Structure 1
Amino acid sequence: MNTRYGFVRAARQFGLAWACGLLMAALMVLIAAVQDLPIRDPDDVMPGYIQFPLIVLAAIALDIVPRVAHRARVRRSWRPRALRGLLGEVVGERWPASHWWFALNGLLAWYLCYATFRNVKSMAPFVNPREWDATLAQIDRFLFAGHDPAAVMHAWFGTGFAAHLLSFVYVAWIALVPVSIAIALVWTRQTTAGAWFVTALAVDWVLGALLYLLVPTVGPIYSDPGMFDELPRTYVTRLQEGMWDDRVAVLADPRGADALQTIAAFASLHVGIMVTICLIARLVAVPRWVEISAWVFLALTVLSTVYLGWHFAADVVGGVALGSFAVWLAGVATGNRVGWRVRLVRPEQAAGPLDPVGASDARPSTLD
């Protein structure tokens, strides 16, 4: 395939994702110029432009190596020369030029959205210093008949084991996002499904950033910390303290802080992105156990965000709406629709959303 044509064809699949990234980049540069704010790499330990490609490359290795080993075992051929031949065979089947361009475009478009989102989120308090926490707390009490949702959950679930379990769930979500991106770009042979998912996440980031600018909040753990005094110290406790320290430092000296402030509650992107994952899983017909696991994790995520004080119940409602709309808009933009109803549109040659290890040995390759 012609290199230029391959890149352009893949880029078209992620047209809305690229548009979201470029819109966010323009917004980031505009705010930075008007407010005299720095633009920073969003990751502290390892730059994201190194971290995320490494995750994808590791996923590619996991896609290729087990298949080579499977064929070597079936053919009883472990000699180096034979393994090199099997490696070339698997790479040729699983990774033609079209799929390399697909994965590269998806990764670049998504990372542009992610990096710009983190910077815009950090800039939100400078653009709109008003905080809406008191208003959202009133909405929560109305929804819960005069009670605070977090206090209700503490009474229902206790403040011992549940705190540690939900802390683990909250942190596990952080790893879930890059892993799901790697799955969508690497293991899917149904590129329309992968493009739909990555584009939906890009829309999630854009909508989340815009809401942070319009309705800035810090969340119950910061606006009413006394409500969470009975919770034991967990990894989330240290995370919350570190994030508040970063926020204070950034607001005091944005250029000297050498950090991003990452506190913003409405809407809950933890919930929004999990809703996106669950709906895409349903719409592209992943294995049943995967879909059920996603819905269970969504339920635990909703509990953890409110129980631990990250979000108001109103933030959860906003997150559900945000994630659902992102799936619909991304489905329309990637051609996964019939009229205005979104559904996966499969090319005639598509094998399906996922191709299990060894499956390509049992049938002809059906790559896009």
Structure 2
Amino acid sequence: MRRWPYTFIVGVSVAIGITVLVASNHVGLSLKDPEGFLGPAYVRLPLIAVLMFSAGIVPQAIHRYGIKRIPHGVREIIRTEWTWYRFSHIAVGLLAFYACYVSYRNLKSYLPLLREDLYDNALQRMDYWMFFGNYPATIMHDVLGTGVSAQVLATIYISYLMLIPITLGAYLVLHKDASIGAWYATALSLNWVLGTASYYMLPTQGPAFFQPQLFRELDGSGASALQQSLFRNGSAFREDPTGDSIYGIAGFASLHVSVVFTACLFFERTGIPRTLRVVAWTYFAGTVLATVYFGWHYVLDDIGGLVIGWASVSLGAWATGNSGRNLKKERRARERAEAGSGEGPPGGSQSTAGDEGAGGTVVSTA
């Protein structure tokens, strides 16, 4: 099954696609394409891929052929290093991610129609007990304040909508080892699938929607504006599910936490430069704080997000044939080999034997 690294996630995307079609027919609603950064996902994802493709090709063309011969350099790099098989891997990765994401958003929107019971009261009491008779968000407001901290944490929380698709596009386009891009696409896509299951397993709204009086001092930030927008859309959806609004309120588990944790774990496993990993983990810490600070999630929601993130990376590694690989060790071995030979590979990368093995998967040591 894993000779082609996308076999598993294509099967998963088909399965969740069938699930959302069945659910759509059951509730009598048509599927909707959620809007996001730079427009609908079917516009956003290809645009990101094109931008990442340009970011990877143009600097190489300048380095090899000079700034005056960029068009010629771009043509030569595409002709010698890019195949239709490589393009197909990028397309499949984006399509699988898109299918899982759109299915997740629609199934999330059907939540109030299929599960009317909510568990906010139980999770709120748990938060109150864990923090010795205090709400965690209130403690954070007292410690961090509700001014500059609110703006910083809001920026971190909202930027997730832009950064995650960009990192996916970067790995799919810029990494020559197709199985690595497939691993990341699989891991991110699994977040949508597992997150959807968690919403239906333990439906909640989140503290800001269950007890909004605790968060009134935060009005004016981008995060609070997003909450107000979600509340309006949620109310409109409940009044008329057949309208244009899509319901987007769900607490358990936190997919902000799960997706960013997935990215951080993946960066660790693939051994990107230490500085970037530190930045990623710092961003993750800010994301966790923001989920509680703004009342998006209960503490248990974030714990659930950690579990989903770990499971997504681990299952993605297995599904793409990367579970036994130590990419950091492989990179160090290549660097020692290149240093010993006194020269790097042509064009800055070299391929191992079997580049087109395992069902044609391109494996690069770059």
Q: Shorter-chain TM-score: which interval? A: 0.7 to 0.9
Structure-1 separation of matches of 2:184 and 2:106: 23
Kindly provide the amino acid, as one letter, of the partner of residue 231 in structure 1: L
* 1:192-271 aligned within 5 A: 192-256=179-243, 258-271=244-257
Structure-2 separation of matches of 1:267 and 1:351: 40
Change (3 A) 1:364 1:260: closer
Structure-2 separation of matches of 1:167 and 1:92: 44
Kindly provide the amino acid, as one letter, of the partner of residue 64 in structure 2: R
Change (3 A) 1:194 1:231: same
Determine if the alignment matches structure 1 residue 40 to structure 2 residue 32.
Answer: yes
Percent identity, please: 32
Kindly provide the amino acid, as one letter, of the partner of residue 134 in structure 1: N
Could you say which residue in structure 1 is the equivalent of 2:74? 87
Candidates 277, 284, 296, aligned match of 1:310: 296
Kindly provide the amino acid, as one letter, of the partner of residue 176 in structure 1: L
Structure 1 residue 304: Cα displacement: 0.5
Q: Look up the SS of the partner of 2:116 in the other structure.
A: coil
Structure 1 residue 48: Cα displacement: 1.5
Is the CA contact (8 Å cut-off) linking 2:269 and 2:328 kept in structure 1? no
Is the CA contact (8 Å cut-off) linking 2:140 and 2:293 kept in structure 1? yes
The C-alpha deviation readout for 1:183-232, integer Å capped at 9, x for no partner, is 11011112222111110111111010011112111111110001112224
Could you say which residue in structure 2 is the equivalent of 1:276? 262
Candidates 17, 40, 44, aligned match of 1:25: 17
Q: Look up the SS of the partner of 1:101 in the other structure.
A: helix
Candidates 302, 306, 312, aligned match of 1:320: 306
Could you say which residue in structure 1 is the equivalent of 2:65? 72
Is the CA contact (8 Å cut-off) linking 1:13 and 1:192 kept in structure 2? yes
Q: Look up the SS of the partner of 1:337 in the other structure.
A: coil
Structure 1 residue 20: Cα displacement: 2.1
Kindly provide the amino acid, as one letter, of the partner of residue 281 in structure 2: W
Kindly provide the amino acid, as one letter, of the partner of residue 306 in structure 1: V
Kindly tell me the number of residue pairs found equivalent between the two proteins. 343
Is the CA contact (8 Å cut-off) linking 1:160 and 1:232 kept in structure 2? no
Structure 1 residue 318: Cα displacement: 0.5
Change (3 A) 1:195 1:344: farther
Determine if the alignment matches structure 1 residue 63 to structure 2 residue 50.
Answer: no
Q: Look up the SS of the partner of 1:265 in the other structure.
A: coil
Candidates 99, 119, 126, aligned match of 2:86: 99
Structure-2 separation of matches of 1:347 and 1:18: 28
Structure-1 separation of matches of 2:251 and 2:345: 45
Structure 1: give runs of 5+ residues left out of the alignment.
1-7, 353-358
* 1:6-17 aligned within 5 A: 12-17=4-9
Determine if the alignment matches structure 1 residue 117 to structure 2 residue 104.
Answer: yes
Structure 2: give runs of 5+ residues left out of the alignment.
336-343, 352-361
Q: Look up the SS of the partner of 1:309 in the other structure.
A: coil
* 1:133-148 aligned within 5 A: 133-148=120-135
The C-alpha deviation readout for 1:116-162, integer Å capped at 9, x for no partner, is 11111111111111111111111112221221110111111111111
Structure 1 residue 22: Cα displacement: 1.3
The alignment's TM-score, normalised by the length of structure 1, stands at 0.87
Structure 1 residue 100: Cα displacement: 0.8
Runs of 4+ in 1 over 4 A off after TM superposition: 342-348, 359-365
Is the CA contact (8 Å cut-off) linking 1:246 and 1:261 kept in structure 2? yes
Q: Look up the SS of the partner of 1:229 in the other structure.
A: helix
Kindly provide the amino acid, as one letter, of the partner of residue 67 in structure 1: Q
Structure 1 residue 13: Cα displacement: 1.2
Structure 1 residue 70: Cα displacement: 2.0
Is the CA contact (8 Å cut-off) linking 1:228 and 1:308 kept in structure 2? yes
Determine if the alignment matches structure 1 residue 52 to structure 2 residue 48.
Answer: no
Is the CA contact (8 Å cut-off) linking 1:201 and 1:273 kept in structure 2? yes
